[in-house]
Amino acid sequence: MKRFRNLSISRKLILAFLLASILPLLIAVALVLAYELAGQRARIISNLITQAEMIAVSTRATLEFEDPKSAQETLATLATRPEIHSACLYTSDGAVFATYIRGDDGSFKFPSVGEAGHRILGDNLDLFYPIGSGADLVGHVFLRVDMRILRARLPNYFAIVGSVVIGLMAVCYWMSRALEKFISGPILSLAETSQIVQETRNYSIRAQKHGDDEIGQLTESFNQMVGGIEEGTNRLLLSNERLQAEVIERERAEGEIKLHSLELEATNKELEAFSYTISHDLRAPLRAVDGYIRMLQEDYAKQLDAEANRLIAVVSSEARRMGQLIDDLLAFVRLGRQQMHTTVIDMTSLARETFGSVAGANSTLPHRFELQPLPPAQGNLAMLRQVFLNLISNAVKFSRHRQTPVIEVGGWSHEGLMTFFVKDNGVGFDDKYIHKLFNVFQRLHTEEEFEGTGVGLAIVQRVIHRHGGKVWAEGKPNQGATFYFTLPK
C-alpha cells in the first residue's frame, strides 16, 4: 500500500484505470466461459438424445425383425461423429444386440442396461434411450460420449478469449494513458509551476488552467494564493522601498541639519566677531575717559581739593566698572555658546554680597535693604551674580528719588521650582510697556531721568532662560516694581 502511495499520480491513475476496466472484463469473460461451458454440455446432451432417437427410430425394425446386421450398419454411421466413443443396442430383455466402438478398443465392456437418461462418469457422458415405451418397449440405445475430445477444443477457445482480453487490456492501457493525461496533465503542470515558483521566488508566474473541474479550481486557488503572495511581496518591497526612501530622506535631512548647524555656527562666529568689535568700539571712549581722568590726576592733583579728587576717583572707578560690564557682556555672549558649569549656590549670600558691591560703589546710598532667607539654587555662579547685580542695580537706580527707598529680596521653593524676587518702591513702570521690558537696548526712561543702556534686563532674561527658568515683572507707575525669576531644581 505504501508503495502504491509513493507512485506518481499518472502511474496510480493508469493502475486505477486498468484495474477498473480489466477486472469487470475478466469477470465477464469468466461468466461467458461458464455460460458457454454449461450451454455446450446441454447442447451435447440434446444432440446426443436426438442421435439416440434417430438410432431408435431407424433400428426399431431391426430389433423387431432381429436383424442385427442391419442394426450394426446403422450404428457404424456414427463414425461421422468423432465425439461418440461407443454405442450399443440392447434388446428388451437387456441382451446386447449390436455394438459400435470407435477405433479398436477391444477391452471395452458395455455396461448393462441402466435407467433411461444421461449421467456423467469421469470423462464419459453416458445415455440410455428407450426404444418404444411401456408394453411396446423393444429395447434400449446406449451412447457414450468421450468428453475429452470435446474438451480438446477448449484451449483453442481460451486462446481466443485470452488474446481478446490481452487486446482489450492493451486498448485499456492505451486509453488510460490517454485519459490519465487529461487528469494528471493539469496536476503535473500545477506541480511543476509550484516547483518553479518555489525555486525562483518569482510570484508573477501563474499556473495554466485546463478546465473548470476540481483541478481547475485547485489551479485557481493556487493562482490566487500566489497572487496573494505576490501582492504581499510587492507590498513588502514597496514598504522596503519606502523605508529606504525614508532613510535617504533622513540622511538628506541630517545633511541639511548639518548644513544648518554649520550656518548657525557661522552666524554665531559672525555674532561673536560683531560683539568683539562692538566691545572694542565701546572701550575706545572708555579708554579716553580713564586716560583723561588719569591725566587730570597726574597733572592737577595738587591743585584740587579733596572733593575734586573724590569725584575724579569716582569717574575712574565708574569707567573701570563699565569696562568690567563690557567684559562681562562679552563673556556672557561667549557663554551663550559654551557649556554652562553649574554648582549649588547660596542665594542668600549671593544677594547680600551683590547688594554690598552695589552699595560700595554708591557710598551715600540711603536705601534700606531687606533680605529674606533664600532657598539655595543650582546654577552658574557668575551668571546668577550678574542677574542679582542687574536687578538690584535697577532697584537702587529707580528708587533713589524716594524719601526712604526700600529694596526687598525674597524667594521660596515650591514643587522643585525656586522663585526669587527683587522688589523696590521706586518709579515703577506702566503695564502697557511690559512686553518691551526685557528687550535689548529697550529703555522706558530717558537718559536724563535714569542713566542706562538697556542691556541689564535682557541679560537677566537670557541667563534665566539659559537656566531653564522664567522671568517676569509686576509694576505700576510710581508704585514700585517687582522682578521675579524662577530656577528649576
Partner 1 sequence: MNDVNQVEVLLVEDSPRDAEMTSRALRKRNLANNLVHVKDGQQALDWLFGTGDYAGRNPCDHPKVVLLDLKLPKVDGLDVLRAIRADERTRLMPVVVLTSSAEEQDVMGSYKLGVNSYIIKPVDFDKFSSAVAELGHYWMLLNKEPK
Per CB under 8 A, contacts with partner 1 among 12-31 are: none
Task: Give the residue with the Cβ less far from partner 1, 286 or 333.
Answer: 286
- 87: Cβ contacts below 8 Å, ≥ 6 apart: 55, 75, 78, 99, 100, 141, 142, 143, 144
Looking at the Cβ atoms of 246 and 281, the one nearer to partner 1 is: 281
**214: contact with partner 1 by CB under 8 A:** no
Using an 8 Å Cβ cutoff, are 286 and 319 in contact?
yes
Tell me the closest approach of the beta carbon of residue 484 to partner 1, in angstroms: 36
- Cell numbers for 388, please give them: 542679582
Minimum CB separation of residue 317 from partner 1 in Å reads: 13
Q: Shortest distance, CB of residue 462 to partner 1, whole angstroms?
A: 24
Q: In angstroms, what is the minimal distance from the CB of 320 to partner 1?
A: 8
CB of 254 to partner 1, least distance (A): 31
Q: How far apart are CB 260 and partner 1 at their closest, in Å?
A: 25
CB of 457: closest distance to partner 1 in angstroms? Answer: 26
User: Total residues contacting partner 1 (rule CB under 8 A)?
Assistant: 17
Structural contact between residues 103 and 146, judged by C-beta atoms closer than 8 angstroms: no
Binding mask 258-297 for partner 1 (x = CB under 8 A): ---------------x--xx--xx-xxxxxx-xxx-xx--
**Residue closer to partner 1 (CB basis): 170 or 288:** 288
What is the nearest approach in angstroms of partner 1 to the Cβ of residue 282?
10
Query: Where does residue 289 rank: exposed (0-12), middle (13-18), buried (19+ CB within 10 A)?
Result: middle
Could you tell me if 456 and 440 are in contact, meaning their C-beta atoms sit under 8 angstroms apart? no
For residue 322, the minimal CB distance to partner 1 (Å) is 10
Nearest C-alpha neighbor of 374 from the set 304, 330, 421, 342: 421
389: closest CA among 361, 411, 366, 370?
361
Judged by beta carbon, residue 178 or residue 273, the one nearer partner 1 is 273
In the chain, what's the furthest Cα-to-Cα distance? 214
**Terminal C-alpha separation, the chain:** 85
CA distance 467 to 460: 11
Is 160 or 288 the residue whose CB approaches partner 1 more closely?
A: 288
For partner 1, the closer CB: 179 or 312: 312
Q: Which residues, numbered 50-89, are part of the site for partner 1 (CB under 8 A)?
A: none
What's the distance, CA 215 to chain centroid? 28
Nearer to partner 1, 259 or 313 (CB): 313
- Say how far apart CA 96 and CA 140 lie, in whole Å: 9
For residue 437, what is the enclosing H or E element? none
Considering beta carbons, is residue 150 or 331 the nearer one to partner 1? 331
Site for partner 1 in 301-340 (CB under 8 A): 323
**Closer Cβ to partner 1, 56 or 286, answer by number:** 286
Amino acid at 462: R
Calpha distance 305→316 (Å, rounded)? 17
**Interface residues for partner 1 in 378-417 (CB under 8 A)?**
none
| Beta carbons of 326 and 290 less than 8 angstroms apart | no
Give yes or no for a contact between 368 and 355, defined as CB atoms under 8 angstroms apart: no
Interface contacts to partner 1, rule CB under 8 A = 273, 276-277, 280-281, 283-288, 290-292, 294-295, 323
